[in-house]
Structure 1
């Protein structure tokens, strides 16, 4: 598996764990010193802290599911890769995106031996203040992925 494929797979597994509301699987992808920066600006470091944070969220909130499109995968060095994606959220019980949940996600992964782990994951709201055409463009691009699903 190429580095590009391995990091795309890592990102896919991260979103899958979120969509399944599995804090343990999600946290297992984070490096011991890895940091996530959430949609609300919260910062968690290390797998245990991430797992505890997400377990509380999943216990108290019906979370929406991610739909994502990777925009860029770029090596930063021999064992470090940057991935950027756009995402949207489909609320529980719905079949369409909620544009208020649109975001840009950035992931930095490091390889240790044969294993890739996330050292930084940031989820930034994509609200495009004053530019509704960009909200529409972001949402439409992800809706194409929804309609392509079996």
Structure 2
């Protein structure tokens, strides 16, 4: 049951991004949660996450995520790690931009029977020197595009 709740937490986070809803995104974090972006930006705390993500959304139309959860591990009944692969489809496009492929890791904690993101990390998946791995990654995500 908690596996499904963790998948939903990740899905809700990316749907909030796709809908450019910084308030919803931030609400999924613990009060002191942290977010590390694709470019290395570090946002600490729910308020900063909301403020900084709002700036991104106010600045330009963002690409939308396509994702696939690859792994979940429970470190304790109330602490888990979720790992997913993600791609992004730029505005006005229909295909994933391989340059934006990433591996996302969430460390989640269960508070009052609700799973929250304590740490979200979005790491570029470029596979330097291994183009076949980058191609396979894009191919796997492209199969999810409708």
- CA-to-aligned-CA distance 1:81-118 (integer Å, 9 cap, x gap): 11001100000111100000000000011001221110
Who is 1:97 aligned against? 96
Who is 2:26 aligned against? 27
Q: Secondary structure at the match of 1:145?
A: coil
User: Hey, what's the Cα distance between the residues in 2 that align with 1:81 and 1:22?
Assistant: 25
User: Hey, what's the Cα distance between the residues in 2 that align with 1:121 and 1:52?
Assistant: 16
Who is 2:65 aligned against? 66
Who is 2:9 aligned against? 10
TM-score, with structure 1 as normaliser: 0.95
TM-score, with structure 2 as normaliser: 0.98
Aligned structure 1 segments of 4 or more residues deviating by more than 3 angstroms: none
Task: Give the number of equivalent residue pairs.
Answer: 146
Who is 1:55 aligned against? 54
Q: Provide the alpha-carbon RMSD of the alignment.
A: 0.7
5 Å-filtered alignment, 1:114-125, equals 114-125=113-124
Deviation at 1:78, TM superposition (A): 1.3
User: Hey, what's the Cα distance between the residues in 2 that align with 1:57 and 1:46?
Assistant: 17
